[in-house]
Amino acid sequence: MFISTYTFYPITGSNILSTHVHLVAVFLNKLCLYIYLDSPPFILSDQQTHSNIIIIPSNNISHVPIDLNLTLYADPIPIINIYKDGQQLLLHNSINYLPSGDIFTHYRIHLSNINDTGLYEYRIKNSFGSISFSKHINIEDQKPFIQSILNQTILIGKQFTLACYVSGQPHLRLQWIDETTKQIINTSLVSPILLTITNTKSNIYTCQARNQFGENSLQVYVTIQIPAKILSLTSNKTIKINEKLDISCLAEGDNQLELKLKTPSLKNVNIIETKSDYKKNLLFAIEHIQMSDSGLYECYAKNNYSEDHSIVEIIVQNVPDRIENIFIDISNRISWTKPFDGNAKILKYILHIRYKQGKIDF
C-alpha cells in the first residue's frame, strides 16, 4: 500500500469560501481511493433529471412517487435539511455513508393533491461552507397554485421580505402588486418571487401568477406597528425664579397612544395636547416658576405593546439665603455656615462689621 498527499484549491462558489483542500490518495494494488479532507459540501450527482423543473402527468398524481436522490461529499460530515417552499420539513430522508466516503441521501415525495407541488430544496452545510439543491414539482396542464402566505406585522422603518411560492411551470409569470398604488413592483419567471421593502404605513400586496392555463392571486396584509417613542423633549434648563417655563414633549405611536408629563410638584398646571396622525405633543407651562418647581420632569409614552420615557431637569435659581450662625474664635477669625446658594454659584460674601458698646455686630 502506498499513500500520497497533495494540497490544491479547487472549491469555490458564490456561497462557499475558498479553502485549502487536502487530497489523500491511497493506492492499494491497482485501486486508487481519493479522500478530500476539510472540504465544504459539493454534489457529485443527483440521479434525477438535469432540469430543475419536474412536471408530473396529471393522470399519475398519487400513483407515482417522486424520489429526490443526491450523492455528495463533505468533510466534516454536513448537516442536511430539507425544505418545501421555504419551510423546513421533518427529516424522513434516508442517509447512507458509502465506503468511498461519499454520502447518499434519499427523500420520497408522495403527491396527494396540488398542495404537495412546489419547491423542494436540500440545504447542506458544514463548518467549511454550504450548498443547496432543489427541484420544483409541478402537475401537467396545471394553472398556477400559490402556497398560503401569512399576513405580516412589522415595526415601522424595518425592512422585510415577502416570499411567494408558486407551482404551475412551465411558462410561469409572477409579479408583486402594490394595492395602494396599483403598481407592479417586482416580476419573475421562477418561484419564489421575493418582495423586499421598507414601509412606514400598513399596506396590502398581491402576488399574481399566470401561465397558459390560467391565473391566480393571493393578497398579503402588512400591518406596520408604530411603537410608543419619545421623539423630542425640551432640553435641561436653568431658569430664574418668577420667569415663565415651557416644556414640550413630542411622541409617536399607534394603538391608543397615551402621553403623560409627570412633574415634581403637585400644583395644578396648564397642559395643552395636540394630535397629528400617529403623533401627540404636550405643551406644559408655568407662568411664574418657583423654587419648589425645581426637579425632574418625565415625559412618558405608552401604547398596548410598548412604552418609552425621557427626563428633563429644571433648575430654578434665586438669591442665596441669609448667612446665619457667624462665629468668632479666640484668634479673632470669623467663620459661618454656608447658606443655600439659590442653585447658583456664590461669587462673593460681603461682611459688614459694626462695633457697638464694645461688642461686634454683624
Domain residue spans of the chain: 36-139, 145-225, 229-317, 324-361
Partnered with residue 273 across adjacent β-strands are 282
C-alpha cell at 128: 467549511
CA distances from 237 to 92, 167, 245, 316 (A): 68, 64, 9, 8
Choose the CATH number for 229-317 among 2.60.40.10, 1.20.140.10, 1.10.10.10, 3.90.740.10.
2.60.40.10
Kindly tell me if the per-residue pLDDT of 142 is higher than 60: yes
Kindly tell me if the per-residue pLDDT of 64 is higher than 50: yes
Kindly tell me if the per-residue pLDDT of 3 is higher than 50: no
- What is the third-level CATH fold of 36-139? Immunoglobulin-like (2.60.40)
Please give the Cα distance from 93 to 72 (Å, whole number).
Answer: 14
- Residue 78 neighbours by CB distance under 10 Å: 22
| Mean pLDDT across 207-227 | 95
Judge residue 298's burial from the number of C-beta atoms within 10 Å of its C-beta, 0-12 exposed, 13-18 middle, 19 or more buried. middle
Pair 148, 163: CB distance under 8 Å:
no
Residue range 145-225 forms a domain whose CATH class is mainly beta
When the pLDDT of each residue in the chain is averaged and rounded to a whole number, the result is 83
Strand, coil or helix: 269: coil
Q: HSE, CB side, 13 Å, CA atoms: give it for residue 172.
A: 33
Pair 131, 16: CB distance under 8 Å:
yes
Kindly tell me if the per-residue pLDDT of 358 is higher than 90: no
Q: Predicted confidence band at 360 (pLDDT cuts at 50, 70, 90)?
A: low
pLDDT of residue 323: 81
DSSP letter (8 states) at residue 172: -
Q: Which of 6-15, 34-43, 271-280, 289-298 has the lowest mean pLDDT?
A: 6-15
Q: Predicted confidence band at 100 (pLDDT cuts at 50, 70, 90)?
A: confident
Q: Predicted confidence band at 94 (pLDDT cuts at 50, 70, 90)?
A: confident
Please give the Cα distance from 352 to 362 (Å, whole number).
Answer: 6
Q: Which of 17-31, 65-79, 91-105, 168-182 has the lowest mean pLDDT?
A: 17-31
Strand, coil or helix: 291: helix
Kindly tell me if the per-residue pLDDT of 175 is higher than 80: yes
pLDDT of residue 166: 96
| Mean pLDDT across 72-78 | 90
C-alpha cell at 197: 421593502
Q: Phi and psi (nearest 5°) for 41?
A: -65, 140
Q: Which of 2-6, 169-173, 191-195, 328-332 has the lowest mean pLDDT?
A: 2-6
Pair 254, 226: CB distance under 8 Å:
yes
| Mean pLDDT across 65-93 | 87
Strand, coil or helix: 116: helix
Kindly tell me if the per-residue pLDDT of 192 is higher than 90: yes
Q: Predicted confidence band at 242 (pLDDT cuts at 50, 70, 90)?
A: very high
Pair 330, 251: CB distance under 8 Å:
no
Question: In this predicted model, what pLDDT tens digit does every residue of 24-60 receive, in sequence order?
Answer: 444 444 455 556 678 899 888 665 556 788 888 887 6
Q: What is the distance, to the nearest Å, from the Cα of residue 108 to the centroid of all Cα atoms in its chain?
A: 36
Cis peptide before 170 (omega within 30 of 0): yes
